[in-house]
Structure 1
């Protein structure tokens, strides 16, 4: 009888841990450091933002957002830092995308001291 109870308790513990560690598809919020700034997505507001760091001269962060599956907007936008007269972040809405559309955000950045544009890769997420 004790073995049966121990087995049941262990099974319930494993099931509870699995449920706690599993993340639902719709919980896609993230913040991503891309070297010359950050890119973030807020799943609650369906908003993707870019912010170039406001230090050491000219910088910008450019984001291209494309749906991988489903319908929704596709666009490219850029955030320029305070060197260009813009110190805040630049955001775009994904509110018109179907729920749980899979997106790819591809990022390029620029820093004036380096003098080159850098490809920072892609990140996949659900809107």
Structure 2
């Protein structure tokens, strides 16, 4: 009797663990990353993508181009210019109209006046 009860319990726990592991949770995520001349962040709770160029050492800007990968959706490009250009805050855009769990690639470039060149900062992949 005790052996059968133990077997039943083990099978039940195994089934519950497998169900939990195979469940499809929401894929959305938030992130914040330093891109050399500023930061890029996504706040999933607010569906908000922001870029901010650092307000130090002359002219700087950060540009983010969004590319929807898993389905159609908004594909904005935002550029934030720093206080050298008269703008000390961040520049943001909303992804509220994107389908939930749309996979995006954020292509990032930046500029610093002292370097005098635009630099590719790579990409970040995330879910809206």
**TM-score range for the pair, normalised by the shorter chain length:** 0.7 to 0.9
What is the match of residue 86 of structure 1?
87
Displacement after TM superposition at 1:25 (Å): 4.2
C-alpha deviation, 1:96, in angstroms: 0.4
Match of 1:96 in 2: 97
Which string of whole-angstrom CA distances, capped at 9 and with x for unpartnered residues, describes residues 72-123 of structure 1? Answer: 1011110000000000000000000000000000000000011110000001
Matches within 5 A, 1:1-127: 24-127=25-128
Is the contact made by 1:26 and 1:43 (CA closer than 8 Å) also made in structure 2? Answer: no
Runs of 4+ in 1 over 2 A off after TM superposition: 24-27
Partner Cα distance (1:64, 1:74) in 2: 7
Q: Could you tell me whether the CA contact under 8 Å between 2:28 and 2:126 is conserved in 1?
A: no
- The answer on whether the counterparts of 2:64 and 2:107 sit within 8 Å (CA) in structure 1 is yes
User: Could you tell me whether the CA contact under 8 Å between 1:25 and 1:126 is conserved in 2?
Assistant: no
Q: Is the 8 A contact 2:38 2:54 kept in 1?
A: yes
TM-score normalized with structure 2 length: 0.81
In 1, the alpha carbon distance for the partners of 2:37 and 2:86 equals 17
TM-score by length of 1: 0.81
Where does the alignment leave 5 or more consecutive residues of structure 1 unmatched?
none
Q: Distance in 1 between matches of 2:28 and 2:102?
A: 12
Structure 2: gaps spanning 5 or more residues: none
Max Rg structure? 2
